[in-house]
Structure 1
């Protein structure tokens, strides 16, 4: 099953009466309330709002990054509260090139929920009706068991990879931030030594993903003979990295992993090396 769904396909599912949970993931890293406000003003009818800070991130301690993953136990409780039962079809969307929708997609997929899709093109692709009445989540009564994140890489493995070079670290940030220029979100600029750069927006044609063939060619040219399983994705805080991971899945290149702590965790320890 492709991880993407078109607006026409989504509209057909909604009109058929099939059970689908629409998750509006709009967010703004500069204005944390902007996504929720936009949702309250207008959204696809029936959608709930899923917030990066409150739903898709755990507690920060100053050294674990700007958007650390919630613990498996906390994430299971959030899925219960949002109404994500094991068989629920979840369709995630945003208006930022599917960045935040990709984070929800990865978190669900990594904890065993396969029935999740991302609306290709996001809200910009939607030509159906819009709603203005916010919907409160309907918690599921099914027991949601905590599951570890499959494909999650911790900082110690990234650190040991500096010597072993077994894996490729792929940084999804813009090229200037990768090179330590114009850093506005983290206190220190630069990148993990040895990492290579693939800006997540290179996966897009306007607001939709490029074709699977285009994405396949782009990543194969970038990675060379390295297998998808050798790719560790990272970015600033583990969000846009999910976009690259999703794009590789669309391309049929499955098995890459996520370093969720990313640059904001890496640079929090002055003992870790930095490259410009």
Structure 2
């Protein structure tokens, strides 16, 4: 299943009576309540709200990043509560260039949920009706079994990679934050030594993803002969990194992995080196 669905395709699916679980993933890192408020004011009819902090993140310890992944057990419970049964087609959208929708896409794919897509262009591309009545999730009829995240990289592997250089570390943050400038979200600026930078917005043309052929060309120019399986994605807290991962998948460069702790976890330990 292609990672993306167009607004026209989605509207046709909905009108056909297809069982689609729409997930509104709007969020604002600076104002965490803004996304839910926007959803409550207006959303694609029938959509439920999926919150980055409460649904797509686990408990913070102060050393595991700003948006640590929930445990496989906790994520299975959330999927059950939200009605994400294994055969349910999940379509995620936001209004931030598909950043938060990509996080949901990756979390589902990584735990074996095959039928998940991101609305290309998000709400900016949607020309269909809008609703104002929030929908409460309908829980799945059976508890969803926990499954480990396939393609998840832990911090120790990234530390070891400093010596082995067996993987390319791809940082999705803006170029200034990558270079330790204008850092407002994390206490320390800079990047993991040896990382290369690909700002997630470079995947977009306006609010939609660039064509697959163009993405393929740009990633190959950036990564050279590095195989997709040797690419570790990271960002500030494991969110925008999913955007790069989805873009590579769209380009046919499958098999790259996610360091979910990302910079916010990395910089929490003063013993880990920092490059600017």
* TM-score computed with the length of structure 1 as normaliser: 1.00
Determine the structure 2 residue equivalent to 1:273: 273
SS of corresponding position for 1:142: coil
| Structure 1: segments with no counterpart, 5+ residues | none
Aligned equivalents of 1:271 and 1:222: distance in 2? 29
* Aligned-pair CA distance for 1:143: 2.7
Is 1:104 the counterpart of 2:104 in the alignment? yes
Aligned equivalents of 1:163 and 1:18: distance in 2? 50
Which residues in structure 2 correspond to 1:253-264 (within 5 Å)?
253-264=253-264
Aligned equivalents of 1:238 and 1:67: distance in 2? 7
Q: After superposition, what is the alpha-carbon deviation per residue over 1:199-240, rounded to whole angstroms, capped at 9, x for unaligned?
A: 000000000000000000000000000000000000000000
Aligned residues: 276
Determine the structure 2 residue equivalent to 1:237: 237
Determine the structure 2 residue equivalent to 1:177: 177
Aligned equivalents of 2:252 and 2:143: distance in 1? 32
* Aligned-pair CA distance for 1:125: 0.2
Q: After superposition, what is the alpha-carbon deviation per residue over 1:53-90, rounded to whole angstroms, capped at 9, x for unaligned?
A: 00000000000000000000000000000000010000
Determine the structure 1 residue equivalent to 2:67: 67
Moved over 6 A (4+): none
* TM-score computed with the length of structure 2 as normaliser: 1.00
SS of corresponding position for 1:21: strand
Aligned equivalents of 1:132 and 1:122: distance in 2? 17
Work out whether residues 77 and 143 of structure 2, in 8 Å CA contact, stay in contact via their aligned partners in 1.
no
Q: After superposition, what is the alpha-carbon deviation per residue over 1:104-152, rounded to whole angstroms, capped at 9, x for unaligned?
A: 0000000000100000000000000000000000001123000000000
Aligned equivalents of 1:114 and 1:125: distance in 2? 24
Aligned equivalents of 1:73 and 1:219: distance in 2? 34
Q: After superposition, what is the alpha-carbon deviation per residue over 1:246-267, rounded to whole angstroms, capped at 9, x for unaligned?
A: 0000000000000000000000
